[in-house]
Amino acid sequence: MGVTDVAFEKGLPANLDAERFVLGSVLMDDASFVQVAGMLEAGDFSLEKHRRIFQRMSELYERGEKIDRVTLANELLKRGELESCDGLSYLVSLDDGLPQLANFDSYARIVKDKSLLRRIILNSQQVIDRCLAGKDEPDEILAGAEDAFLKLGESSAGNDLSTPAQIIDEFKDGINAFLDPSKRVKGLSTGFLKLDEMTGGLYPGELFILAARPSMGKTALALNIAQHVATHPSLRKAVAIFSLEMSKESLLTRMLCAAARVDNSKFRQGYLNADERRQLSAAAAQLMDAPIYIDDTSGANLMDIHAKLRRLKRDQDLSLVVIDYLQLMGGHGKYESRVQEVSALSRGLKLMAKDLNLPMLVLSQLSRAPETRIGEHKPQLSDLRESGSIEQDADLVAFIYREEVYKPDRADLKGLADLILSKQRNGPTGTVKMVFFKQFTKFENRKEDFGESPEPEE
C-alpha cells in the first residue's frame, strides 16, 4: 500500500474509493477543486498519501496553476513525496472506476463523514487514556471531553456565507418585519428604564462589562438585573449566575433582602420585626419559583463555565449569564503574564457569548487609579484592571460611580449613583442616574424616571 498509515491499519472508518474519486475528479476537471475544497481539508483523508496529494493540489490552486497529473506529479517530486505516493502510476489510477458523471458532493460528504467518525473515536480514546492515567480530576476530564466533542459538532456543521437576500429571507416575517424597528428583536430588559433607553437592553451574543472599585455595588447591580429578568411577570427567563467570590448562601441572602427591602445587617444579626419577616417570606416564595441557577465554584475556568452553560441552555430557556468576577477566573493553560491570561479570558467570554447566543454580564475590578486621581475619581476605560483587551472585546463597558464614597460628609450625595456607559459598540455613551440603597444592597430607578420609586432613606 506504500505509506504505512496508522489510522487505516487500526481499522478506523474510511472509504478509500470515495477518497480516490474525490482526488480523481479534481484531476479530470480542476474547476471542481473549489467545490471540494469548500467541504474538505487534507486531514479528512485516511491515507497519508491522499493527504499529501490533496495538500499539493491546494498549493497549486492557491498559486493559480492548473491541477492535472503532470503538474501534481511535478509538485510532489519537488517535495520529495512522489515516491511515497506510489509514483505517477498511482496518480493515473485515481480515476479508475470513476463514473462518467462525477458526483463531487456525495464523494466529499462520505470522506467528511468517515473523517468525523475517526475523530470521535480518537477523542474517545484520549478520554479513556486520561481516565486510566488518573492524573486529572473527573470534572476536568468531563469538561474537556464535552468541549472537544462540541467542537467536532461545530466543525461538521460549519457556517455558510449568506447574501443580503438570504438574511432577509430567513428573517421572521420577511423584509417588512426586517425594515420595521418595532418588529426587530429587542434586547433583554434590565429593569432600569434609562439604561434600557440608552442600550435597548442586553442583546444575545454581546459581552457587557460592569466594572467598579470595591464596595461600589457591582454585585448588587448585577443581582438586581438578574432578579428582574428571572422574576418580572413579563419576563421570567432563566438566569445563570457564576459567583467566584461569594458563596451561594450569601448571594441568596442579598437577593432576599433586596427583594424584601430588608436591612441586610439586621437580617444577618437576626433583629427583625414581624413586618420584615413577612416581607422576607414573600420574597423567598418569589425567589423559590424563579429560574435562577447559581454556581459558586471558586476558580472556575472558561471550559467549565462553557460546558455547564451548554447543558443548562439545552434544558432551560436560558436568557442571561452573570459572572462575578473576571479577575477571579482561572486561565486554561500557561501564560507569560497575568495580563495575557486576563486578555485570553475576556476574548474567550466574548466568543462564548457569541457561540451560545446569550448576553454575558461580566463584572470586573478596576485598578487604584480612580482613587489616586486628585479631584476627579470617576473611572475611565484605562482603569480596567490587568488588561487593555477587555475594552476591545466588550460590546458595552459601564462603570458604577458613587460620589458619596469619596465625600461621606456630603448629605446631599447620600444614595446617589451614576452608571457611566463609557463604551457602547452599537449605541451612545453617557451616564444613567440611579438610586442606591446600601442597607438593602439594591439599585433602583429614580423617582423622576419611573412611577413612585422611593428616594433613599436617611
Residues 243 and 98 grouped into a single domain: no
Q: Which of 41, 81, 245, 403 is catalytic?
A: 245
Whether 404 is a known active-site residue: answer no
| Beta strand spans in 194-273 (E) | 207-212, 238-243
**Beta-bridge partner residues of 348:** none
Same domain as 357, residue 210: yes
Within-domain flag for 458 = no
Instruction: Please choose, from the candidates 426, 350, 364, 375, the residue with its C-alpha nearest in 3D space to the C-alpha of residue 400.
Output: 364
Residues 259 and 360 in one domain: yes
* Residue 398 resides in a domain: yes
Last residue of a domain, one of 95, 116, 137: 116
One domain for residues 86 and 194: no
- Write the single-letter amino acid at 345: L
DSSP state of 385: T
Give the 3-state secondary structure of residue 416. strand
Residue 433 lies in a domain: yes
Based on the domain organization, do 230 and 105 belong to the same domain? Answer: no
Q: C-alpha cell of 23?
A: 482526488
Query: What per-residue confidence (pLDDT) applies to 455?
Result: 47
What pLDDT does 153 receive?
65
Beta bridge partners of 363: 210
Say which DSSP state 299 is in. Answer: T
Provide the whole-model pTM. Answer: 0.65
Task: Tell me which residue range forms the domain holding 400.
Answer: 190-444
Is 231 part of a structural domain of the chain? yes
Q: What is the pLDDT of residue 67?
A: 87
CATH of the domain at 44: 1.10.860.10
Supply the pLDDT for residue 155. 60
Instruction: Work out the number of other CB atoms within 10 angstroms of the CB of residue 161.
Output: 6
Answer whether residue 301 is part of any domain: yes
For residue 329, the SS3 value is coil
CATH number at residue 271: 3.40.50.300
Do both 194 and 110 map to the same domain?
Answer: no
Distance CA 309, CA 241 (A): 10
**Among 330, 400, 362, 381, residue whose Cα is nearest residue 139:** 330
Report the largest interatomic distance among the alpha carbons of the chain, rounded to a whole angstrom.
Answer: 93
pLDDT of residue 407: 84
Regarding whether 377 and 294 lie in a shared domain, the answer is yes
Quick one: cell of 38? 469548500
Point out the domain boundary residue: 83, 116, 149: 116
Tell the burial category of 72 from Cβ atoms under 10 Å away from its Cβ (0-12, 13-18, 19+).
Answer: buried
Domain boundary among 65, 82, 116: 116
Same domain membership, residue 307 and residue 433: yes
Alpha helices in 316-432 (DSSP H): 338-356, 369-372, 389-393
Query: Each residue of 264-289: pLDDT tens digit?
Result: 878 877 778 888 888 888 888 888 88
* 84 and 194 within one domain: no
| All cell numbers assigned to 180 | 420595521
**Low-confidence stretches of the chain (pLDDT beneath 70):** 1-10, 100-102, 151, 153-163, 166-168, 170-174, 177-178, 180-185, 331-336, 385-388, 450-458
pLDDT confidence of residue 392: 80
C-alpha cell at 31: 474547476
In this structure, the answer to whether residues 111 and 248 fall within a common structural domain is: no
Backbone Cα Rg of the chain: 29
Query: What's the domain count of the chain?
Result: 2
322 assigned to some structural domain: yes
Task: Give pLDDT, residue 2.
Answer: 40
Kindly state whether residues 239 and 388 are assigned to the same domain: yes
Residue 437: what residue type? F
Of 228, 238, 268, nearest to 250 by C-alpha is 268
* Calpha distance 188→228 (Å, rounded): 10
Residues 252 and 336 in one domain: yes
> How many C-beta atoms surround the C-beta of residue 255 within 10 A?
27
Q: Is 239 helix (H, G, I), strand (E, B) or coil?
A: strand
- Is residue 398 within 8 Å of residue 420, measured between CB atoms? yes
**110 vs 99: CA distance, rounded Å:** 16
Q: Is residue 178 part of a domain?
A: no
Closest alpha carbon to 306 in 139, 127, 126, 146: 146
Half-sphere exposure (Cβ direction) of 348: Cα atoms closer than 13 Å:
18
Spatial strand order of the sheet with 238-243 comes to 292-295, 238-243, 318-324, 360-365, 207-212, 396-401, 416-424, 430-437, 442-444
DSSP per-residue string spanning 50-82: HHHHHHHHHHHHHTT---SHHHHHHHHHHTT-T
In a domain, 162, yes or no: no
